[in-house]
A and B are shown apart, each in its own frame.
Chain A
Amino acid sequence: EAGVAQSPRYKIIEKRQSVAFWCNPISGHATLYWYQQILGQGPKLLIQFQNNGVVDDSQLPKDRFSAERLKGVDSTLKIQPAKLEDSAVYLCASTQRLDSYEQYFGPGTRLTVT
């Protein structure tokens, strides 16, 4: 079974530029999450999708971050414009069922904002 795929793996941009990350969850997994992991911290939930609907985006900085999951499969997370403090690893995870606690994580995208 293929795991959660993410691209790109690394991205370097200047502040005020825009960037987008892509995630393809495990086939058949209905729930998808985006986490932000700043160096030295644990992952922090940004947004949760159930199929193509948003379940929780309470911690997403909506003035600059946006995410979508069209057709309930792939997802894209965008930052526009980026700030220095957005430098982090962005992790995508998925679970198969609504009653499943175990989340499967992708390798992440490391973003550096200069």
Chain B
Amino acid sequence: DQQVKQNSPSLSVQEGRISILNCDYTNSMFDYFLWYKKYPAEGPTFLISISSIKDKNEDGRFTVFLNKSAKHLSLHIVPSQPGDSAVYFCAASVSGGGADGLTFGKGTHLIIQP
């Protein structure tokens, strides 16, 4: 039973355009959400996060939006750059104040076309 779902296995975007990666979740106990980026042969690296008490968090070119009623979050990257080509994982944490194990989606492979 997938509690965190990323329904697009891959996404191709032209350089300079906006990339939008989507994530849905089913567990209403999740209260913190994170996006990780992963290059081949490396471990995932933290990108951006959002608490369930917010609906938007921004960090440079990256913005995460959270719609709690729809149990949906999205990651916007603008403008997209070649170095953004990677697999992006959505992850969620159950209420507990932090440091609990994360539940990950299957990932979306983002390809930035020159």
Contacts and interface: CB of A to CB of B under 8 A. Distances in A.
Partners in one complex: yes
A48 interface: yes
Nearest to B105: A42
A105 B89 CA distance: 13
A100 B98 contact: yes
Size bracket, chain A contacts: 20 to 34
A73 interface: no
Interface residues of B, number: 26
Contact of A105 (B44, B98, B103, B106): B44
Interface of A: 4, 31, 33, 40-45, 48, 50, 56, 91, 93, 95, 97-108
B99 A100 contact: yes
B107 A102 contact: no
B1 to A, nearest CB: 12
Contact of B44 (A43, A99, A101): A43
Contacts of B59: none
B105 A101 contact: no
B86 interface: no
27 contacts: A4-B43, A40-B106, A41-B106, A42-B89, A42-B91, A42-B106, A43-B44, A43-B89, A43-B102, A43-B104, A44-B104, A45-B102, A48-B101, A56-B101, A91-B43, A93-B43, A95-B99, A97-B99, A98-B97, A99-B98, A99-B99, A100-B98, A100-B99, A101-B49, A102-B49, A105-B44, A106-B43
